[in-house]
Amino acid sequence: MEQMRILIVDDDEAIIALLERILAKDPLFDVFSTTRGLKALTILDHYSFDALICDFALPDLTGDEIIRQIKKKPHCPPFIMMISGIVKRLPEHPTGHLIFVKKPFQPDRILMALRQEYARKYRQRKQAGLE
**CATH assignment of the domain containing 25:** 3.40.50.2300
Mean pLDDT for 1-10 is 90
Residue 49 reports pLDDT greater than 70: yes
Q: How many domains does the chain have?
A: 1
Q: pLDDT-derived band of residue 12, with 50, 70 and 90 as boundaries? A: very high
Residue 122: the pLDDT is 76
Q: pLDDT-derived band of residue 62, with 50, 70 and 90 as boundaries? A: confident
In 71-110, the DSSP E strands lie at 79-84, 97-102
Cα–Cα distance, 46 to 119 (Å, whole number) = 25
Contacts 24+ apart (CB under 8 A), 59-64: 59/11, 60/36, 61/37, 63/88, 63/90, 64/88, 64/90, 64/91
Mean pLDDT for 53-76 is 84
Q: Which of 60-64, 71-75, 125-129 has the lowest mean pLDDT?
A: 125-129
Q: Which domain holds residue 108?
A: 4-127
Mean pLDDT for 85-91 is 62
